[in-house]
Amino acid sequence: MAAVVGRLPKYSLLRVANGSYYQQASLSTFRDLSLGRKLIYTAATVLTGGAAGLVYALNQAVKAEGLELHPPQYPWSHNGILSSLDHQSIRRGYEVYKNVCAACHSMQYMAYRHLINASHTEAEAKAEAEEIQVLDGPNERGEMFMRPGKLSDRFPNPYPNEEAARYANNGAFPPDLTLIVLARHGGEDYVFSLLTGYCDPPAGVEMREGLHYNPYFPGSAIGMAQALYNEVIEYSDGTPATASQLAKDVCTFLKWAGELEFDERKRLFIKVVFVMSVLIPISWYYKRHVWSSLKTRKFAFKRVTRK
């Protein structure tokens, strides 16, 4: 036995037997298939894709939302990356809300203090707040009393509760307008189109009593009558009060009401871009400096010959 071991080469004792070393992977590819299988697989793929496309097309065709008129995208002045809201338009939009919309719609999350430095001065905001009467109390006699409004008071609700609102509007509940632009698909484009989109119903369409035709509203039948007309109010700054101008201004006001931090967010973006334009090159250079010793090192292997 010792003689047999002695005849074996030295490298044969150090060789690792690994069966996978001698095996070859046998993978089946489309190229290796027969012509018949290729035709079957190709036809199945085409039929499956065609069936999926047909189902999708039919599904989109029968959707009821396809009958709705989607609002166009208007060129609002505040849509730019570095563009702020038009604060003169915000002031005029507040006048539209106060004289037209406030008769039915509330803005329960808006306080008169929010108007300061946005559309009014502090004195003007105080004067606006003092025009309303707020139920307060109790006083020293335990009685509730009415007082003039303060800057901390919120915009008044036209109805004491939801039931009264529905009773006054034929069962429809006027939504709160504070976040209406954010709550509707299309934002201010939808609100503007809705306010200016009233028209006569097409032939064959009859509207129920108390409903009005508006193609931008889901179902095209809306309980709110057209509220904005030419010269329905007079702007304090003398701007012509056309229906489209009224709608544009109140939409800008509602956009601001839903995002009080709109301009501040744009200013913060400019500051972040300026700071990061300085920090990013410095960080990149520091990273290159720290890791340069690891990324540039080399390993050299030298063959050692035994004598």
Is 289 assigned to a binding site?
A: no
Phi, psi of 40 (to 5 degrees): -65, -45
Residue 251 annotated as binding site: no
Asked if residue 199 belongs to a known ligand binding site, the reply is: no
d(CA 102, CA 91): 15
Residues found in the chain: 307
What is the DSSP secondary structure assignment for residue 162, as one 8-state letter?
H
Q: Dihedral of the CA atoms 76, 78, 83, 85 (nearest 10)?
A: 140
Q: Which one-letter DSSP state was computed for residue 300?
A: -
Peptide bond just before 138 cis, omega within 30 deg? yes
Q: CA dist 37 to 29, 44, 47, 130, 231, Å?
A: 12, 11, 15, 85, 75
C-alpha–C-alpha distance, residues 85 and 270, integer Å? 16
Over the range 175-211, which residues count as b (16 or more CB within 10 Å of their CB) and which as e?
A: ebbbebbeeeebbbbbbbbbbbbbeeeeeeeeeeeeb
Beta strands in the chain (DSSP E): 133-136, 145-148, 212-213, 221-222
Token pair 């203090």 in the structure block, residue: 113
Please report, in range form, the residues annotated as the binding site for heme c.
Answer: 101, 104-105, 224
Annotated binding site: 101, 104-105, 224
